[in-house]
């Protein structure tokens, strides 16, 4: 029997891309890396988040860098691999990877805030805009020492930049991702307005117990 084509059953490919992207995105690298390094459960310190910024609060810059790289690469890999079945599959996988990182089934749907995975997806879909994101993030973070503010400002400009390059499909995707990113940072926004947000490099006073 001849295998059905993508045109005949597009929903199967999109569904597979979504499942694949979610599973890849749901790998909690921050938690895995810190546990393997003997630092215990990263969720026991700081914000309780499994992302790069909270890993940095352990004082281990190397582990934070590894977490950033892995969380970004899983978004990039999801898009590139699913992209072999077309741009629609790539975009679905990218969105699913972001959701997997934020709502991992393995951690009772309590994951990270998605900045690194957002960047990873952006690298795969529009690397020049990803470079712009990185430049803005670095500039704001260096000037203010606020990781959350840097991410929010950079993410705000991404859909605009994509729209200016006539990529309406990607602009809509990242409008949704940026909106979710801001919603996930609602507590950070409140602390920024109150002047109580933690700055980059501030080590947690309560290190995680040794595993």
100-140: pLDDT as tens digits:
999 999 998 999 999 999 999 999 999 999 999 999 999 99
Q: Which residues contact 102 (CB under 8 A, 6 or more apart)?
A: 111, 112, 113, 114, 180, 184
More confident residue, 24 or 60: 24
Q: What's the whole-number average pLDDT of the chain?
A: 89
CA-wise closest residue to 211 among 48, 26, 33, 52: 33
Sign (positive or negative) of CA dihedral 25, 88, 18, 20: negative
Alpha helices in 86-146 (DSSP H): 87-102, 115-125, 127-144
Report whether pLDDT(53) > 70.
yes
CA-wise closest residue to 202 among 102, 110, 64: 64
Report whether pLDDT(207) > 60.
no
For residue 10, the model assigns a pLDDT of: 78
pLDDT tens across 129-177, in order? 999 999 999 999 999 999 899 999 999 999 999 999 989 999 999 999 9
Residue 93 · residue 25 · CB < 8 Å: no
For residue 8, the model assigns a pLDDT of: 52
Neighbours of 146 (CB within 10 A): 19
Q: At what angle do helices 61-82 and 29-36 cross, to 10 degrees?
A: 140
* Confidence bin at 9 (pLDDT 50/70/90): low
For residue 202, the model assigns a pLDDT of: 64
For residue 5, the model assigns a pLDDT of: 47
Compute the average pLDDT of residues 48-53: 84
Helices (H) and strands (E) in the chain, counts: 10, 0
CA-wise closest residue to 63 among 71, 146, 161, 197: 71
CA-wise closest residue to 22 among 80, 114, 99: 99
């Amino acid at each position: 029997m001849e295998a059905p084509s993508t045109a005949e059953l597009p929903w199967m490919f999109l569904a597979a891309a979504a499942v694949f992207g979610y599973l890849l995105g749901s790998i909690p690298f921050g938690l895995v890396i810190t546990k393997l390094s003997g630092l215990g459960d990263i969720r026991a310190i700081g914000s309780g988040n499994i992302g790069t910024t909270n890993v940095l609060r352990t004082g281990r810059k190397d582990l934070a860098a590894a977490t950033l790289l892995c969380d970004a690469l899983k978004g990039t890999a999801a898009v590139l691999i699913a992209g072999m079945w077309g741009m629609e599959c790539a975009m679905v996988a990218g969105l699913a990877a972001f959701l997997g990182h934020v709502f991992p089934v393995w951690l009772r749907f309590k994951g990270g805030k998605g900045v690194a995975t957002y960047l990873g997806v952006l690298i795969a879909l529009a690397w020049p805009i990803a470079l712009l994101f990185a430049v803005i993030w670095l500039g704001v973070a260096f000037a203010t020492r606020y990781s959350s503010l840097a991410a929010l400002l950079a993410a705000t400009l991404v859909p605009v930049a994509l729209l200016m390059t006539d990529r309406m499909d990607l602009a809509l995707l990242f409008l949704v991702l940026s909106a979710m990113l801001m919603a996930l940072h609602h507590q950070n926004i409140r602390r920024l307005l109150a002047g109580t947000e933690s700055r980059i490099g501030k080590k947690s006073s309560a290190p995680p117990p040794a595993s």
